[in-house]
Structures are given as C-alpha cells and as structure tokens.
Amino acid sequence: MEMLSRTALQRGGVVRGALAVLLGGVLSACAAPPPPVSPDPRFAVGEELVADDFRHGLALWRTELAEGGTVEARDGVLEIDVPGGCSVWLVQPLEGPLLISYEATAISAGGPNDRVSDLNCFWMADDARSPGDLFATARTGAFADYDQLRCYYVGYGGNTNTTSRFRRYLGERGNRPLLPEHDLAGAENLLVPNAPQRIQLVAAGSTIGFYHNGRRLFAYDDPAPYTRGGFAFRTVKSHLRMRAFRVHRLVPVAGTAVAP
C-alpha cells in the first residue's frame, strides 16, 4: 500500500508538473509583448499609453471612407481593403512626447484593390475648422478634406508606390508644403509587397521622425511643434493589414540634449 501510495504521488507530481509547464506556456503566449526599443537613442520608452491587438473590433477607431470598402478588426489584424480614400482614426487623442508603432503589410494577391500603394498616416492632428475637437468636423475620406488639418503626414509608397513623402500640414486649404529632402524615391524607400514592415512615428517636442524597419526615413526639427492631436491610418485604393498597434511615452535619456 505504501509503495502504491508513493507511486501515485510520483505520478501526481508528474501530472502537476506537466500542467504547470502547459499553463506557463499558455500564460507566456498571452503575455503582453515587450515594449519596443526607441529608434532615437536620445529617448527611452516609458509607459504604454494605448494598445490594440485588433481582436475586439473597432471600438477604439473611427473610419472615414470616400467610396466604401472593408475596414474590420479581428483575429489580430486590422484589414483595410478599399477602392478609394480611407482614414481610420484612433478615437483617443494623444499627447507627446510619444512613440507610435505598428506592423503593416501591403497586400498583393490579385484583389481589386491590391495595388501596393499608400501606406500613409497622420499624427498629432487637429482640424483648423474645429480646433480641439477633431471629430466635430465631418470629413468624407477624400484626400482634399484633410488639407485643413494641422499635423504631420507621411505618404509611404504613394503614387502607386513610386514616392515616399513627409509633410507638415498647416491647416490651410490647398497648401500641403513639401520640402525637397522630404520627397523620396528609390526602391529602398518604397513598399515591398506582402512583407510585414515595422513603422515607428516619433513626436517628442521639436523632434519628429518616421522610421521604417528601424531605419529613419524622415527627420524634422519643428520650431513650433504639434504636441497633441489624433492619429490615423490613411490610404487610397489599396489593401493593407495592420497588426500590433502601440503608443508609448518617450522619456529623455539623462545627459542627452533634447530640444523642448
């Protein structure tokens, strides 16, 4: 009986150990991903401000569509498949200094909108027509509707994946300034079909940046920075998949010179 009890206990210990290993694996798989590394060494990544793994619908987002299409969040993916202009706004306003990061893929699989173009974004956006209330002004999703934003904008892989451009919008109809150094071409600055690409946006006082797979594509030292406003995914006639959206506080590293 004593031998039987010892054997049963040993078996029970093995079972409990296996369950612990299994449970540990499940918990590990469900754990939040580690914070991203700051692409700018003058800043460290601080607290997480916003996170969406795109498994619970569009409660955090507001969509503006020019010609309809599909925008849905499920199974870890924000799917944007649209025949015209589209902006998908984070409802929560953001205040810097901050780092916005997400993974994006431009789909080329024979679909009607699969043209691999316009992985674009607005950040720190306010609308000059309704200052302080981004959504008080109705916008149709047509690109001209956004001229009167005050924000930063990148059109990555625009014009059927032939250009990548950074602009600082001034809130003036018909005026979207473009500096020569912010008008890029060349394969190294354009979209790669069906390849996940890591996008990071920085807004930290006068320090504004756009990073692609860890490489700084655009840098701008803004003497009058936009420090608070909205973020949106933006595209036109394309098919995109977004994953792992995160916003983190950026904290200046001690001993580094950072402009306010």
pLDDT digits (tens, 9 = 90+) for 138-177: 999 999 999 999 999 999 999 999 999 999 999 999 999 9
What is the pLDDT at residue 15?
Answer: 42
Same structural domain for residues 43 and 155? yes
What is the pLDDT at residue 34?
Answer: 76
pLDDT in tens, 68-80: 999 999 999 999 9
pLDDT band at 8 (very low <50, low <70, confident <90, very high): very low
Sign of the Cα pseudo-torsion (202, 207, 208, 210, in order): negative
For range 16-37, the mean pLDDT = 53
pLDDT band at 33 (very low <50, low <70, confident <90, very high): low
pLDDT at 28 over 70: no
> Which position has the higher pLDDT, 185 or 255?
185
Same structural domain for residues 76 and 24? no
Q: For residue 259, is it within any domain?
A: no
- Percent of the chain, pLDDT > 90? 83
- List the Cα angle 49/233/37 in 5-degree steps: 45
Same structural domain for residues 225 and 169? yes
Residues 6 or more apart whose CB falls under 8 angstroms from that of 172 comprise 128, 147, 148
220 token code pair: 């701008």
Total tally of structural domains belonging to the chain: 2
Same structural domain for residues 22 and 63? no
Beta strands 207-212 and 215-221 are antiparallel
- The CA distance from 142 to 198, in Å, is 26
pLDDT in tens, 103-130: 999 999 999 999 999 999 999 999 999 9
pLDDT band at 26 (very low <50, low <70, confident <90, very high): very low
Same structural domain for residues 161 and 67? yes
Q: For residue 260, is it within any domain?
A: no
β partners of residue 122 = 153, 232
Same structural domain for residues 88 and 6? no
pLDDT at 19 over 90: no
Burial pattern 107-136, b for ≥16 Cβ within 10 A else e, equals beeeeebbbbbbbbbbbbbbbeeeeeebee
Same structural domain for residues 8 and 122? no
C-alpha distances (whole Å) from 104 to each of 17, 78, 84, 180 are 40, 9, 19, 26
- List the Cα angle 126/147/132 in 5-degree steps: 15
Q: Across all residues in the chain, what is the average pLDDT?
A: 89
Residue range of the domain that includes 13: 1-31
